[in-house]
Amino acid sequence: MDETTIIPANPKGAPLSVDDFRTRLAEISADLPRRLRQCADFVAANTDRIAVSTVAELAVGADVPPSALMRFCQIMGFSGFSEMQRLFREAYSPGWPDYSTRLKNLKEEGAGSPSALLAEFIEAGRLSLEALAKTADEVALGRSVGLLAAAQTIHVIGLRRAFPVATYLAYVFEKMAVPAMLHDGVGKLDHRFAMRPGDALLAITFAPYSEETLALAQDAKSRGLPVVALTDRMTSPLVRLSDAVVTVPEVDFGAFRSLSATIAMAISLAVAVGSARG
């Protein structure tokens, strides 16, 4: 290498800044044996704790013996933990800007900038979650869980903007070994006849309500299957087709839902159903 290189590529030297540290971490963590990988992952997720923790504490957090953490420090290029910690102690500036200050900073990037948008969506999500906490109807939620837990197969439908929620539910059900079927409309195939007596339908739709979802709910109802609705308000056309209705208040920003509250509700429903089933 050309020795006139002013800033040394620092191939094996210790990282000199937190940024440097992150880069190095990303570089090496591609192929790492098990314990060292645990260290890397934990450190990546808890970088801020390094400055105020001992080797032993971090080791417990990463679920490795202290000596593994020492080896990790060394392959990161430090002589040991103390040297690594010094980097973070010097860079330590406590009290990240608190949540609201930070949001203001993000917004000040200028209207329409990615950061400003992010701030808006974060705020929308948080408002939605707070509203949900205040308005959640425990009785309706309990009844919904009961209906779904008693079903043989749970059919899930949610299209367009509700589709992400439906796919997440399908994922969670699968992880919990709950028999569930996602009606996704692929190939315009209509799997309504997959719904058998003893099954239940979980239908998700928000204004403007999706025709296909309403149609499937109608079908389930007319065949006497229990229908659980996850929708935006009690005036939703889904309500009169359903045996239990869970509503979720969601703050829209522009044309788009934050989905935070909806997903929190969906996941609670799914996990509750999963544990009710054993």
Partner DNA sequence: GCATTTTTAGAATATTTATTCTATTTTTCC
Partner DNA sequence: GGAAAAATAGAATAAATATTCTAAAAATGC
Considering only residues 24 to 43 of the shown chain, the ones binding a copy of itself according to CB under 8 A are: 25-27, 29-30, 40-41
Burial of 177 (0-12, 13-18, 19+ CB in 10 A): exposed
What character string, x for contact with a copy of itself (CB under 8 A) and - otherwise, covers 150-179? ----------xx-xxx-xx--xx--x----
As beta bridge partners, residue 204 has: 158, 230
Instruction: Compute φ and ψ for 56, nearest 5 degrees.
Output: -60, -45
Strand runs (DSSP E) across the chain, as ranges?
A: 154-158, 180-183, 200-205, 227-231, 244-247, 252-253, 256-257
Q: Nearest distance from residue 178's CB to a copy of itself, in Å?
A: 13
Q: Which partner in DNA, a copy of itself, none is near 156 (CB below 5 to 8 A by kind)?
A: none
Residue pair 266/165 in contact (Cβ under 8 Å)? The answer is yes
Restricted to residues 56-85, the positions that interact with a copy of itself (CB under 8 A) are: none
Measure Cα distances from 4 to 11, 15, 138, 273, 274 in Å: 15, 20, 70, 66, 64
Please report whether residue 121 would count as binding a copy of itself according to CB under 8 A: yes
Q: Which is nearer to DNA, 14 or 118 (CB)?
A: 14
Q: Which does residue 79 touch among DNA, a copy of itself, none (CB within 5 to 8 A, set by kind)? A: DNA
State both tokens at 52: 């105020």
Site for a copy of itself in 222-261 (CB under 8 A): 232-235, 237, 239-240, 249, 253-256, 258-261
Query: Does the footprint of a copy of itself cover residue 45 (CB under 8 A)?
Result: yes
Question: CB 126 → DNA: shortest distance, Å?
Answer: 32
Part in contact with DNA (CB under 7 A); list of ranges 62-70, 142-150, 162-170, 264-272: 62-70
Residue from 80, 142, 179, 198 binding a copy of itself (CB under 8 A): 142
Q: How far is CA 22 from CA 34, 40, 58, in A?
A: 20, 10, 17
Select the span of 4-12, 90-98, 190-198, 220-228 touching a copy of itself (CB under 8 A).
90-98
> Which among 38, 82, 34 is positioned nearest to 60, based on CA atoms?
38
CA dist., res. 142 & res. 249, Å (int): 18
Site residues for DNA per CB under 7 A: 33-36, 54-56, 64-68, 70-71, 73-74, 79-83, 85
